[in-house]
Structure 1
Amino acid sequence: MIVWINGTHGVGKTTTSALVQELLPDSRVFDAEKVGGVLMDITPGLPETDNFQHWDPWRPLVVEFARRVLGYVGGTLVMPMTVLVEDYWREISDGLAAYSIPVRHFVLHADADTLRARIDGDTVMGPSWFRHAYVEPYLEAARNWLHADAEVIDTTGITPADAARRIADSVRAGGS
Structure 2
Amino acid sequence: MSNGVGARSRRRGIVWLNGTHGVGKTTTARLLQPLLPDARLLDPEKVGETLMDIRPQLGATDDFQHWDPWRPLVVETARRVLDYAGGTLVMPQTVLVERYWREIADGLAAHGIPVRHFVLHTDQETLRERIRNDADMGPSTFRFSRVEPYAEAARTWLHAAAEVVDTTNRSAEQAAQRIAAAVLR
TM-score category (smaller protein) = over 0.9
What's the TM-score, normalizing by structure 2? Answer: 0.93
Give distance in 1, aligned partners of 2:43 and 2:84.
17
Instruction: State yes or no: 1:124 paired with 2:123.
Output: no
What's the TM-score, normalizing by structure 1? Answer: 0.98
* Residue 182 of structure 2, aligned match among 153, 170, 173: 170
Question: Equivalent residues in 2 for 1:23-172 (5 A)?
Answer: 23-172=35-184
Give distance in 2, aligned partners of 1:137 and 1:44.
29
Give distance in 1, aligned partners of 2:23 and 2:68.
26
Question: How far does the alpha carbon of each residue in 1:117-162 deviate from its partner, in whole angstroms, 9 at most, with x for none?
Answer: 0000001000000000000000110010000010000000010000
The letter of the residue matching 2:25 is: K
Match of 2:40, SS state, is strand
Q: C-alpha root-mean-square deviation of aligned residues, in Å?
A: 0.4
Instruction: State yes or no: 1:11 paired with 2:23.
Output: yes
Q: Give 1:48 shift.
A: 0.5
The letter of the residue matching 1:17 is: A
Q: Give 1:25 shift.
A: 1.2
Question: How far does the alpha carbon of each residue in 1:54-75 deviate from its partner, in whole angstroms, 9 at most, with x for none?
Answer: 0000000000000000000000
**Identity between Structure 1 and Structure 2 (%):** 70
Match of 2:178, SS state, is helix
Q: Runs of at least 4 residues of structure 1 off by over 6 A? A: none
Question: How far does the alpha carbon of each residue in 1:92-116 deviate from its partner, in whole angstroms, 9 at most, with x for none?
Answer: 0000000000000000000111111
Give distance in 1, aligned partners of 2:44 and 2:126.
25
Give distance in 2, aligned partners of 1:97 and 1:24.
21
User: Can you give the 5+ residue segments of structure 1 that lack an aligned partner in the other structure?
Assistant: none
Question: How far does the alpha carbon of each residue in 1:23-64 deviate from its partner, in whole angstroms, 9 at most, with x for none?
Answer: 001001000000000000000111010000000000000000
Give distance in 1, aligned partners of 2:122 and 2:146.
13
Match of 1:84, SS state, is coil
Give distance in 2, aligned partners of 1:160 and 1:138.
19
The letter of the residue matching 1:26 is: D
Task: Report the counterpart of residue 21 of structure 1 in structure 2.
Answer: 33
User: Can you give the 5+ residue segments of structure 2 that lack an aligned partner in the other structure?
Assistant: 1-12
Give distance in 2, aligned partners of 1:97 and 1:72.
18
Give distance in 2, aligned partners of 1:158 and 1:36.
29
Q: Give 1:22 shift.
A: 1.2
Question: Across the two proteins, how many residue pairs are aligned to each other?
Answer: 173
